[in-house]
Chains A and B, each alone.
Chain A
Amino acid sequence: MIIRFKDTDRVLILTTLFLVVAGIMMVYSTSYIMAMERFKDEYFFLKRHLSFTLIGLAGFFITMHVPYRAYKKMAYPLLVAATILLSLVFVDVFGVDAGGARRWLEFGSVRFQPSELAKVAVVIFLAYSLEAKRDKIKTFSLGVVPHILIPALPIVLILLEPDFGTSMVITAVIFLMMFIAGVRITHLVPLGVMSLPLIYYLVAGTAYRMRRILIFLNPWKDPTGEGFQIVQSLIAIGSGGLYGVGFGEGRQKLFYLPEAHTDFIFSVIGEEFGIIGVLLVFILYLSFLLCGVRAAWKSPDLFGTYLASGLTSLIVLQAVINVGIVMGLLPPKGLPLPFISYGGTSLVVNMAMAGIVLNIYKKGCEG
């Protein structure tokens, strides 16, 4: 090993690997019946997930060795590339329609979700830009405006896919990073307040989003219609109890839990492993959070600090939102659970992000 592992390195690596292993198990558990039914191969999704895991491990290994400062130079190119890829989604030759949304690019047999790349690109750009403008950070024109306006294009493109969840997560992470970088609270809060009408418009503007919002407030009102998914998710988690019904034995995935292997995989964790399993997953994310914040803390420069806290926030925030949705605390938005949900791009990108955080931490320890 090129890197000499210290304690925190080990914790971060183990945390990431545990999450990935949990993902492998749950993808199998949630998909084997459906896979058998659709493809006559119970391992269909598992096999694909495993190959993504291998690519992810490679990404993890590479990024943990690439000095994170290299990303500084790539901040703009990455952002431009991500934006172009996001636009390509709307070009019929490359874009793929799935479930009423265009979130995928297809090159031959390779499918790819550009919004996942865009998330990283935005975070890298912000870390770079916030560090570059650290002296003027308290000013509105330099501390706030560019960090809102420049990522706005990819965010809007994601919003158009439509992928409301991902765009909200990116926006939230931008705010968190600006907060970390010391942008005035008096700038951030009014901005947040000002964006509320916009969010409201986005929510209420499309009927299906509004319906989802209203349903989340009381899913039991219409358990067979709009509230169906949430109600089924709550039933799954709730019937798990203390210890759960056992690995592979969950029945909600058989009965009415659509997308059990992707966005609602956490419901099956709750059902099959009970509150014990739920808390274990929480602990893994908290461990990742602590490692991430420690990396930010230890980083030799502000770019590393911002990058580490941005990437960590991206992963942990998405986990919080996903779990919040699945538990009926947030309106359903269709976000994968980082590391665990089935989905190639997301897994590979998440593991690469973990690698970057690890590299920042390593540099911090060396410096």
Chain B
Amino acid sequence: MSKGSRWLKVRLVSLLVFFLIAFAGLTVRAFQLQIVENGRLKARASDQYRKTIDILPERGEIYDRNLNELAISMEVDSVYAQPCMIEDRRTAAEAVSSIVSVDAGSVYKRLRDKSSFVWLKRQIDMPETERSIVRGIRGVGLLKERKRFYPAPQLASNMIGFVGYDSIGLEGLEWRYNNYLRGEGMKIAGLRDARGKEMVFDDGDVSHASKGSSLILTLDRTIQYIAEKELLKAATNANAKAGIAIVMDPSNGEILAMASYPTFDPNNFRRYRPRDWRNRALTDLYEPGSVFKIFLVAAALEEGVVEPNDIIYCENGGYRVADRIFHDTMKHGWLTVKDIVKYSSNIGAVKLADRLGRSKYYRYINEFGFGKKTGIDLPGEVSGYVRKLQEWSRVTFSTISFGQGISATPIQLITAASAIANKGVLMRPYVVKAVVSPDGEVVKEVHPVIERRVVSEETALEVTEILKRVTKDGGSGERAAISFVDVAGKTGTSQKPDPVNGGYAQGKYISSFLGYAPADSPRLAIIVMIDEPSGDFYGSTVAAPVFREILKQSMAYMGILPNKGGESIKPVKLAAIRRTNDDIEGGRMPDFRGKSMRMVLRMAKRIPLEVKVVGSGKAISQRPSPGGKIGRNRTAEVRFQ
């Protein structure tokens, strides 16, 4: 600086000082951020990574006893957006709405949301071309989610129920077993990544770790189908208001079929009236009518007040009790106890009850389970109504003997009848045989529950003999009979109470048939109830044929018919549920442990393998473990620390 003045030097030094001060300021700021506020900002950082999006877990399946799928989870796409990543929200909204059937206005409204993550449309099925368009929109991405799907839409829908948004069971088994089925709420952390729609997670595939457990039911799909088909046919033919058919294994209480009419499609449950969702087998109360005589005669025989062949005078069809006169449909004089049941004489029942005595009868009604819930593992069960003994009038006592003035659910009736079929031992009915985790591990297994012995084995066999005669020639239930196999059962035709005027409604009946077969070694107990059939309303003509069809076809399916050999219904095989993902060619897992996240991602890309990362730092553990087989979905989880 030859000509440099002293002032120039001063000015150069000032320049130096100016910048030195600037850097001093920056250093102070760095110290403040990185040392003083380090803890707070670090916490905020990890908060932000851990801040997660709830991804619907993959809901467990529902299988019938032979592991046929009744409810499954289907992989569908959900469209999300990260509004803060989108610069031109208008354009993005229009682009999205052109693919997804949501109008641009509402998409735009959601994009204006301040949050960093919003759903635009959940659970839709879209072709690959549309997927790639959606992925192309900046700030918009796709996540794989699972949607509930019922492959056989109407099958057992009233029992299985359905699932609402957010994978929460709303009705039926889906509701009752929601905690098992739903699985751990899936949280995806990495997806908070701003640009990285597909970076670390490639569409954020929902890992199997979060999948819910599956249910294996006692239900048999084929028998359920038979029951529904026959019930639907009968109910539509009779133009009935409702109908129920239940098939149960009397020896252990397993429900093989439980059909309701009307029914609904759980895939589109919102299109149906809520009353169509009801599982009428346990939510609806009926006056059982003559089928109730089964329990009266069982009680009378058990108490030894009569013998099956004792004769009782049936008053030729008209019998006065207090201020009421009871009638029989057909006039009878002297009838044996057996024939009282066979011909379903109300007068005979009233006299039989008189011999038994009201307090004993009351006790047996309770022993058979009426007036309280059966405890079946389904929601919505009601307990029915049995008037307290002290409130029984003379007339009440008499009407109850033939099943009027008392209310019961179909499940109570079949459970009670099964107790007779099961040599006097009452089993608790149930529909869920087992809960199985996604790994095939049995989380919960349900064994048959013996509630109590109601009558002795001898009494049960005597009652069975009596009930067998019902379906023989001339019996009220002859239309329930099938060839080669003895059927034990009882018809019922009850009047419906009139809720408005009291008493019974004119022309409103419930036709029912309750029975089991083969009578001597019962395999199936079946109840059929047709609510308000128009025209013919007798249990013997409306319900008995339905019973017969269900029984005949089910037995043929089970191979119980004599000409088909004697193979029984298959027990539920839990081992078969274990899925063999291993068998699918997928390669072996490398050892990620000790590697940095960067290395892991790079290695995974090469395999290829989708890696779900948890934590940060060095890899400490992985699933599947090193050398393990890579599953069909090609995902792995690696934890870092």
Contact = CB atoms under 8 A, between A and B. Distances in A.
Interface string B22-60: 110111011101110110111011001100000000000
Nearest to B9: A297
Interface stretch (A1-9, A15-23, A175-183, A350-358): A175-183
A257 B3 CA distance: 50
A180 B15 contact: yes
A88 interface: no
A228 B29 CA distance: 19
A238 B23 contact: no
A32 interface: yes
Contact of B194 (A32, A249, A256, A323): A256
Contact of A274 (B7, B34, B45): B34
Contacts of A286: 19-20, 23
B116 interface: yes
A279 B23 CA distance: 10
A237 B30 contact: yes
Contact of B605 (A36, A251, A252, A290): A36
A327 interface: yes
B23 A285 contact: yes
A235 interface: yes
A37 B114 CA distance: 26
B199 A33 contact: yes
| A interface, size bucket | 35 or more
A51 to B, nearest CB: 23
Nearest to B7: A182
A249 B597 contact: yes
A34 B34 contact: no
Nearest to B3: A302
B396 interface: no
Contacts of B196: 33-34, 37, 254
Which of B8, B12, B15, B596 has the most chain A CB atoms closer than 10 A to its own CB?
B15
A170 B25 CA distance: 22
A104 B388 CA distance: 93
Contacts of A228: 84
B617 interface: yes
A248 B31 CA distance: 22
A240 B192 contact: no
Nearest to A240: B34
A279 B27 contact: yes
Main secondary structure of the interface of A (DSSP, over half): helix
Interface string A253-269: 01111100000000000
B23 to A, nearest CB: 5
Contacts, number: 167
Contact of A320 (B14, B23, B85): B23
A238 B41 contact: yes
B2 A278 contact: no
A327 B29 contact: yes
Which of A37, A299, A317, A329 has the most chain B CB atoms closer than 10 A to its own CB?
A37
B78 to A, nearest CB: 20
A55 interface: no
Nearest to A316: B19
B623 to A, nearest CB: 22
Interface residues of B, number: 58
Interface string B404-447: 00000000000000000000000000000000000000000000
A289 interface: yes
B30 A279 contact: yes
A293 interface: yes
A235 B48 contact: yes
Main secondary structure of the interface of B (DSSP, over half): helix
A195 interface: no
Contacts of B4: 297, 305
A313 B15 contact: yes
A33 B597 CA distance: 11
A228 B617 CA distance: 25
A275 B35 contact: yes
B12 A293 contact: yes
B192 A256 contact: yes
A175 to B, nearest CB: 11
Given A33-B199, A180-B15, A329-B25, A299 B1 contact: yes
Interface string A215-248: 0000000101100100000111111111001101
B26 A297 contact: no
Given A251-B49, A256-B193, A239 B598 contact: no
Nearest to A285: B23
A278 B38 CA distance: 14
B194 A258 contact: yes
B240 to A, nearest CB: 59
A301 interface: yes
B27 A282 contact: yes
B12 A296 contact: yes
B200 interface: yes
A180 B34 contact: no
B38 A238 contact: yes
B7 to A, nearest CB: 6
Nearest to B31: A275
B114 A224 contact: yes
Interface string B65-85: 000000000000000000011
B2 A300 contact: yes
Contacts of B617: 249
Contacts of A345: none
B22 A238 contact: no
B588 interface: no
Contacts of B597: 249
Given A238-B41, A257-B194, A270-B33, 4 more contacts: A180-B8, A236-B45, A301-B2, A305-B4
Question: Which 3 A-B residue pairings sit nearest by Cβ, starting from the closest?
Answer: A238-B41, A239-B42, A256-B194
Interface of B: 1-5, 7-9, 11-12, 14-16, 19-20, 22-23, 25-27, 29-31, 33-35, 37-38, 40-42, 44-45, 48-49, 84-85, 87, 114-116, 190, 192-196, 198-200, 596-598, 601-602, 605, 616-617
